[in-house]
Amino acid sequence: MANEVQILTVSELTKEIRRTLEESFEQVSVIGEISNFKSHISGHWYFSLKDSDAVISCTMWKGFNQYVFFTPQDGMKIIVNGKLTVYPPRGSYQLDIRSMKPAGLGELQEAFEKLKKKLEAEGLFDEKFKKPIPSYPQKIGVVTAIDGAAFKDLISVAERRFPLVEIVIAPARVQGSGAAESIVNGIRLLNQYPGINVIIVARGGGSIEDLWAFNEEIVARAVFKSKIPIISGVGHEVDFTIADYVADLRAPTPSVAMEIATPDISDIENFIVEFLSSSSANIEEMVESKKEDVAAFYSSYGFRIPLDILSRKSQQVDLSLNKIIQSIEKFSMIYDKRISLLAKSLDAFDIQRVLKRGFVLVRQNSKFVTRAVDFNTEEKAMLKFYDGEISTH
């Protein structure tokens, strides 16, 4: 029938609306204020964009939001580019965002002040949490872009001032999307590296957008949680970032940061020379002073008394030694006489002397025969003379 009304399913109607909207609003730019911002675990962003009279839902997929150099915050005014589309399950339209930027520098400055007040209220800027910077570091960790001018300046200053120091680099993105996460990772890695004494987080100068990674909350908290003291050297002297307030020490430039972190080797050499010179002079002066003291003590009455006592005791020792020697000589003569008498007695009883006078020793069965009655005529006997022995049969 010509007048029959076409009946569509809900899905078919939604598809038609979606096609119409996407063809009509394929590329739009919208300005508005962020509300209900949520960063999903998947990496996608979901939020609303509003003004005084209307609200529109927005989605920004991970593949696009990774190029946004700042972290969106509720209340921030932004400009987005994307297309209008429909979310079929709810039948609602939304902005599918491809790019995002602050509506002006005022938005970034406002976000900066808001975060600064928040962290200050939490105590992250308090002096009581600032860690001291070591005077003579052996290892310095550096978080910066290795292809930037700041890195070259840091190395140049270290080589000139303190070439003995070891530099450990944690390369990081310092600008644009993902820079904040890269800086946080560099700080974490250096905290795990053994022997790091101080960390320098550095970047050359730039606009507020260029330096924004150092204004991110995750960077501020990573600096505060670092167990190793951190020196911030970001931008030029007039540039201040949130990281500067949280760091243990702020340097106006990367070069100054390295100058603060390292001693000047010429100062050390001069100190050593002066120390050796002054020490030698002090030692010589001390020795001369002590020599005079020793001489005075040695010639004093207190020292003379011990010497007199020692002399008297020495004489007593000599007298005692003489008495001992005389006693030994006396006893030696007495015992010499006794030994002579004993020697003569032994000579008198010497068997050889007896045999030499004509006596004979008679032995039978391994025994000496001293009586005639004990002699056995039937047995063999051994007769011992002075000049030999004879056996009887």
Specify if 40 maps to a domain: yes
> Which own/partner pairs from 107-111 qualify as long-range (CB within 8 Å, at least 24 positions apart)?
107/76, 107/77, 107/78, 108/70, 108/208, 108/209, 108/212, 108/215, 109/208, 110/76, 111/70, 111/73, 111/76, 111/215
Residue 116 and residue 75 share a domain: no
pLDDT tens for 38-50 read 988 888 999 988 8
Residue 217 and residue 233 share a domain: yes
> How many whole angstroms separate alpha carbon 214 and alpha carbon 184?
10
AA identity, residue 329: E
Query: What pairing do the DSSP bridges indicate for beta strands 249-250 and 367-368?
Result: unpaired
Specify if 148 maps to a domain: yes
pLDDT tens for 55-112 read 888 999 888 888 888 888 888 888 889 888 887 777 678 888 998 888 877 778 888 8
pTM for the model: 0.58
- The answer for residues whose C-beta is within 8 angstroms of residue 392's C-beta and 6 or more apart is 380, 381, 382, 383
Looking at 263, 296, 315, which one is the last position of a domain?
263
pLDDT, position 301: 61
Beta bridge partners of 390: 383
> How many whole angstroms separate alpha carbon 167 and alpha carbon 258?
11
E-only strand ranges, 209-261: 230-234, 249-250
Residue 117 and residue 97 share a domain: no
Residue 117 and residue 80 share a domain: no
Specify if 334 maps to a domain: no
- The answer for residues whose C-beta is within 8 angstroms of residue 166's C-beta and 6 or more apart is 138, 139, 140
165 pLDDT higher than 80: yes
Residue 250 and residue 153 share a domain: yes
Report yes or no: 58 and 80 within 8 Å, Cβ to Cβ: yes
Which residue range forms the structural domain that includes residue 60?
Answer: 10-103
Specify if 313 maps to a domain: no
Specify if 86 maps to a domain: yes
